[in-house]
Amino acid sequence: MIASLRGRIIYKDAGSVIIECAGVGYRVYVTADFLASYAVDDEALMFTCFSVREDGCSLFGFSDMADKELFERVIGVSGIGPKLGMSILSFMGRSGLINAVATSDAKSIAKTPGIGAKTAQKLIIELQDKIAKDVFESLGAGVPAGSGSAMSQSMNDAVAALTALGYSQTEALSAVRSVEGAAELDTDELLSLALKRI
């Protein structure tokens, strides 16, 4: 099994790169963030997931282990294959996806091409069981319903106010949590600062 590759990027297209390692070129499917981070001729280290399917073998690459581990959890959900899993991570990013799962924001996930409302809801239900509470908290995503809350009352009120203004739960939560010292601020001040971050 190929767990990682280090080499020179010799080709890029819309969803993959060819990385040359010791004279051998490997085509690896990567996220949009990875593509944006490297140019042709750059040296790169990627952590890979090797997928074997009836129609062939594919490599999927990530800039760090956290992305790879999240990808493996996503494709562990029935009905989501590697290419669709990569599409979800590319569209939402790691923190965006984890925020959406933590806040049960199926609408944001359903905006991913190829993902419907039912699949988005299924993804949330299954991932909330597979992603540990400390993973949610380390990414500043809060925790799933029923797991307790690291949010102060003013933060909850600010999130509610932002969603009432039409922002998604994920956008609202990310904006509120991005405010320094959010838990110590009153709702009005926190809401004002959070609006500037959206």
User: Is the pTM here over 0.85, yes or no?
Assistant: no
Name the packing angle between helices 169-177 and 82-102 (round to 10°): 60
Q: Which letter does DSSP use for residue 30 in this model? A: E
Among candidate residues 36, 1, 172, 21, the one with its CA nearest the CA of residue 100:
172
Cα 38 to Cα 84: distance, rounded to the nearest angstrom = 22
4-63: which CATH number, 2.40.50.140, 3.90.1150.10, 1.25.40.10, 3.40.50.1360? 2.40.50.140
Architecture of domain 151-198: Orthogonal Bundle (1.10)
pLDDT tens string 59-93? 999 999 989 999 999 999 988 999 999 999 999 88
Q: How far is CA 21 from the centre of its chain?
A: 28
Among candidate residues 145, 139, 142, 111, the one with its CA nearest the CA of residue 125:
145
Q: Give pLDDT, residue 197.
A: 80
What topology does CATH give the domain 65-147?
DNA polymerase; domain 1 (1.10.150)
pLDDT tens string 130-147? 665 545 555 444 544 443
Q: Give pLDDT, residue 147.
A: 39
Mean pLDDT of 29-58: 93
Mean per-residue pLDDT over the chain, rounded = 85
